[in-house]
Amino acid sequence: MSFLKIRDLSVILRGTNHRLLRGVSLDVGATEVMGLVGESGAGKSMIGKAVLGILPRSAKIVGGSIELDGVDLLKLPPRQRRHLIGQKAALIPQDPLTALNPARRIGPQIGDRLVDILGWEKARARARTEEILHDVHIPQPDRVLRAYPHELSGGMRQRVLIASAFAAEPRLIVADEPTTALDVTVQKQILKLIFEMQARHGTALLFVTHDLGVVSKICQRLTVLYGGLVMEEAEVGAFFEAPQHPYSRALLAATPRHTDPTADLTPVPEAVIALAQRAVADADLRWHS
Amino acid sequence: MFLRRLLTRIATTLVTLLGVAVIVFAVIRIVPGDPVAMMLPPGATEADIARLNAFYGLDKSIPEQFFIWLGGVVQGDFGTSITTRQPVLGLVLSRLPATLELSIMALVIAVALGGLVALTGTRLRYTRTEGALDVANGMALSVPDFLWGLVLILLFGVLWPVFTISGRVSPQLVPEFATSFFLFESVVRLRFDLWLDLVQHMLMPALALAIPLAAIIGQLLKQSLKETMHLDYVTLARTKGYSENHVILREALRNAVLPTLTLIGVQFTFLIGGTVIIERLFSYEGLGNMAIDAVINRDLPLIQGIVLLFALLFTLVNLAVDLLYAVLNPRLRHA
Amino acid sequence: MLDGRSLVKRTAGLRLWLSAGWLTALVIGAVFAPWIAPQDPLMQDLFTSRLPPFWMDGAEPGYWLGTDSLGRDVLSRILYGGRVALIVALIAGTATALIGATLGLIAGYYRGWTDMVISRLVDIWMAFPPVLFAILLIAVMGTGLTSVVVAIIVIDWTRFARVVRAEAMAQGAMDYVASAQVAGRGRMSTLLTEILPNVLSTIIVLLTLEMGIAVIVEAILSFVNLSVSTDDPTWGGMIAEGRLSIHQAWWVLVFPLVALFLTVLSFSQLGEGLKDRFDPVLN
């Protein structure tokens, strides 16, 4: 039984006919880690944003359904939708430097949802906040609670954001390229932390990334996107043994292997891109008719 | 570091005040016509004039007069008013509370109105309502307080006379209070009848002063709110399940307020400057009204005192805003 | 698609045309006042005092907008008052722009001690209540057109100096200025041929706005009876009289107020419109 069930989701650029997502269908199981991969502009972030209801104003959902725990989000009035998302899902954002409010202390930024959305007692929320900061290996949680974001390093802030995401025990977490903005040295630790937290809490995780190497390590299944269209959806093991779609194969060939970083990388061949674009054009043709 | 900044600011403030003093002094000393001669009854002798000139120190050279006056000012002696023959300081201080109450009331109205416009505009951004608000705001912005005062007199003084448009307090209610902060003291003394009467007198002139400032606040605050609404931490707050209103008020507002705050400082001094003509227009017994009378009566010591007090007020407001900015911005506070 | 900005933009052209239209009408009315005005603006006649405007009972033909308590024709006085307002706007506005912009250019381009002196003066000026300062100056200099113009220059030059200084500083840091100097051009010539043309649009926008401000300042001064003269009709003077007889004859206040309101609004709309036109980045 999948926790997140997306069917035929279409998103257009507002005011145009141009589709950013072309009928995407996707399932994420209750404790599953799903990797969402593709080149930039493939629409992978767009899916995460659509699920969390934070699409930019320029994007507009024009069809399909997003079921979260059996409830179609797109059929709910905005207020209820937001409330439901706040209760059941959370985001680990891309850039820890901009994702914390500079004018608010860390503690309330983690604990506010527990009190306001989940209706916890203040004291309980505070205790939980301290506990979760401890869980993400932040030294002196009580001091960090009272700090402002600018007093913390980038890695620390990303830990805070991970803590904030897991604090309310959400059933689904969307991680939107959570390490791209970080130093290479910190990236590994943060990835490890996300995976550790996911394993401990048994949360479903939608992991948006362009890095197939990362996917091979922490995901169980993955979805490959091109031009807002699903190219292939597979188990991670099977995918890395034998990717089915030519575009997936090309993407894999273009990814550096951690086992052999010196091996030559092949850029995605033009013939394969033409093939992918053909699929996109076909999808548009069916949609417009 | 913070202390040094503060001290530098105080030093520049003092230089500014000295400059104001010099300029007012210089401007006033070139007044054609002899104010002393005007106040004497017909038939006064040359000796009488000379005696009075000596009394007001007008027989000395202008630089000498300046330093004598400045020496007095430093000790709290602003000289003697020529028309009322009372100490300038006492006169000015008796009127200052009225002007301060009016200005602060106007500021409160402006912040409330401007804030409301900005928040409504942000909440309803990209709708027609926002566009209509923008157009109205632009008009409010380009028409000065003097004209708004006249419009309000017409609307609420004549067409629909619900407010009093003249004076500070009804004559039969004039209180015998310890201070001249009537509005404040009437609350402390629980004289709500008087308080209501004061507010009724004050509301129209305060609104006239507030409208242009409200428009400026509305415009700038909305602009920075809208920019803030695109930032990542605001988006993150949305995913937490918070409503748009909550997101605007708790996440965006505090960060968006900072640029507006510096602007309010400068604009508030303009507002205080506007009390001069607005008090005249509404016959409100404040400092500005007294200033115009003083100018018309050529009461030099009184004019000097009032202008200097206004300048002091302006510079203090700017200083206060600087400090407030530092307090509200956590990044500066810890620096 | 409809959204907030489009409403603002769509009405922008219309507002600009209305503003230009009102100002043109005003200029024509002011220039040809002696031929257009139905009555002598100074002629008092107690038999025709407080006549209402034409659509009300008791109105007299020839007194379209009614008369004041001394029987003077409101429309004629508005037309003649418009002369004063426009002359002040033109002369004081231009003179303020010339003086303020010159000081701003010098401060912003030459920097150094001149900049320090001018900036300090601007700071001191910002500590003056402008209206009180203007009233004081008129009281010192005596009433009259020159006094009004001088008072406006004195209180408002900082408006130009501040903005133009900042612009000149920004322009001075640009590459093209440096290359002009490398090419061996003098400072003065660079200032006039490279910097000035680039800040000219800002000056024109400020000038338009300043004209509206000058109209208001003149109205305020004539309101407290310290303007061009006590006899010539002025909008501010009419407003002061109308304020006193507001319950008996509202039209004495309302019509000059409307004229003043529209004029001030038109100048500022024109200024904003020019700003948008000059600054394509804003659109």
If you write DSSP's letter for every residue of B167-205 in order, what string do you get?
SSS-GGG----SSS-HHHHHHHTT-HHHHHHHHHHHHHH
Neighbours of chain C (3+ CB pairs under 8 A): B
Delineate the domains of chain A, giving CATH numbers in brackets. Answer: 2-288 (3.40.50.300)
Q: Which two tokens stand for residue C71?
A: 């029987």
Does residue C169 lie within any of the structural domains? yes
Q: Is the model's pLDDT at B87 over the cut of 60?
A: yes
- Quote the domain boundaries for residue B199: 99-297
| Structure confidence by residue, pLDDT tens digits, A155-165 | 899 999 999 99
For residues A124 and A114, what is the distance between their CA atoms, to the nearest angstrom?
9
Q: Within its chain, how far is the Cα of C259 from the centroid?
A: 13
- Indicate yes or no: CB of C131 within 8 angstroms of CB of B274: yes
The answer to whether residue C220 neighbours chain B at the CB level (below 8 Å) is yes
Instruction: Say which amino acid occupies A95.
Output: D
Whole-Å CA distances, C222 to A116, C211, C216, C241:
59, 16, 10, 11
| Structure confidence by residue, pLDDT tens digits, C182-211 | 777 777 888 888 888 888 989 999 999 999
Does residue B314 lie within any of the structural domains? no
For residues B95 and B118, what is the distance between their CA atoms, to the nearest angstrom?
34
Higher pLDDT, C248 or A256: C248
Q: Give me the interface pTM, i.e. the ipTM.
A: 0.88
Q: Is the model's pLDDT at C75 over the cut of 60?
A: yes
- Quote the domain boundaries for residue C168: 4-278
Cβ atoms of C261 and B140 within 8 Å: the answer is: no
Cβ atoms of C235 and C78 within 8 Å: the answer is: yes
Q: Is the model's pLDDT at B331 over the cut of 70?
A: no
- φ, ψ for residue B262, nearest 5 deg: -60, -40
Q: Is the model's pLDDT at A210 over the cut of 70?
A: yes
Higher pLDDT, A213 or C181: A213
Query: What confidence score (pLDDT) does residue B61 get?
Result: 77
Q: If pLDDT is split at 50, 70 and 90, which confidence band does B169 have?
A: confident
For residues A204 and A192, what is the distance between their CA atoms, to the nearest angstrom?
16
What angle, 0 to 180 degrees and rounded to 10, lies between the N-to-C axes of helices B253-281 and B300-328?
Answer: 170
Q: What share of chain B is helix, strand, coil (3-state, %, to 5)?
A: 75, 0, 20
Query: What is the percent of chain A where pLDDT is above 70?
Result: 95
Gap between the terminal Cα atoms of chain C = 17
CATH for B268: 1.10.3720.10
| Structure confidence by residue, pLDDT tens digits, B174-207 | 788 878 888 888 888 888 888 888 998 999 999 9
Does residue C217 lie within any of the structural domains? yes
Which 130-159 residues of chain C touch chain B by CB within 8 A?
Answer: 130-133, 135-137, 139-140, 142
Does residue C262 lie within any of the structural domains? yes
Q: Is the model's pLDDT at B71 over the cut of 70?
A: yes
Cβ count within 10 A of residue B162: 11
Does residue B204 lie within any of the structural domains? yes
Does residue B34 lie within any of the structural domains? no
Q: Count up the domains in chain C and report the number.
A: 1
Closest chain A residue to B230 measured between Cα atoms? Answer: A56
Whole-Å CA distances, B72 to A195, B66, B276:
76, 10, 26
CATH for C236: 1.10.3720.10
The model's pTM? 0.86
- Indicate yes or no: CB of C140 within 8 angstroms of CB of B31: yes
Does residue C283 lie within any of the structural domains? no
Cβ atoms of A60 and A11 within 8 Å: the answer is: yes
Cβ count within 10 A of residue C86: 21
- Indicate yes or no: CB of B310 within 8 angstroms of CB of C129: yes
Q: Is the model's pLDDT at C283 over the cut of 60?
A: no
Q: Count up the domains in chain B and report the number.
A: 1
What angle, 0 to 180 degrees and rounded to 10, lies between the N-to-C axes of helices A270-288 and A246-253?
Answer: 140
Does residue B141 lie within any of the structural domains? yes
Does residue C222 lie within any of the structural domains? yes
Angle at B326 between CA A108 and CA B224, to 5 degrees: 70
Cβ atoms of A76 and A24 within 8 Å: the answer is: no
The DSSP output letter for C3 is -
Gap between the terminal Cα atoms of chain A = 33
B233 vs A contacts (CB less than 8 Å): 98-102
Burial C173-201 (b: 16+ CB within 10 A, else e): eeeebeebeeeeeeeeebbeebbbeebee
- Indicate yes or no: CB of A93 within 8 angstroms of CB of B232: yes
Beta-sheet pairing, A59-68 with A2-13 = antiparallel
- φ, ψ for residue A11, nearest 5 deg: -130, 135
Q: Flag the least confident range among A24-38, C24-38, C113-127, C174-188.
A: C174-188
- Indicate yes or no: CB of B242 within 8 angstroms of CB of A86: yes
Query: What confidence score (pLDDT) does residue B42 get?
Result: 64
For residues B288 and B280, what is the distance between their CA atoms, to the nearest angstrom?
7
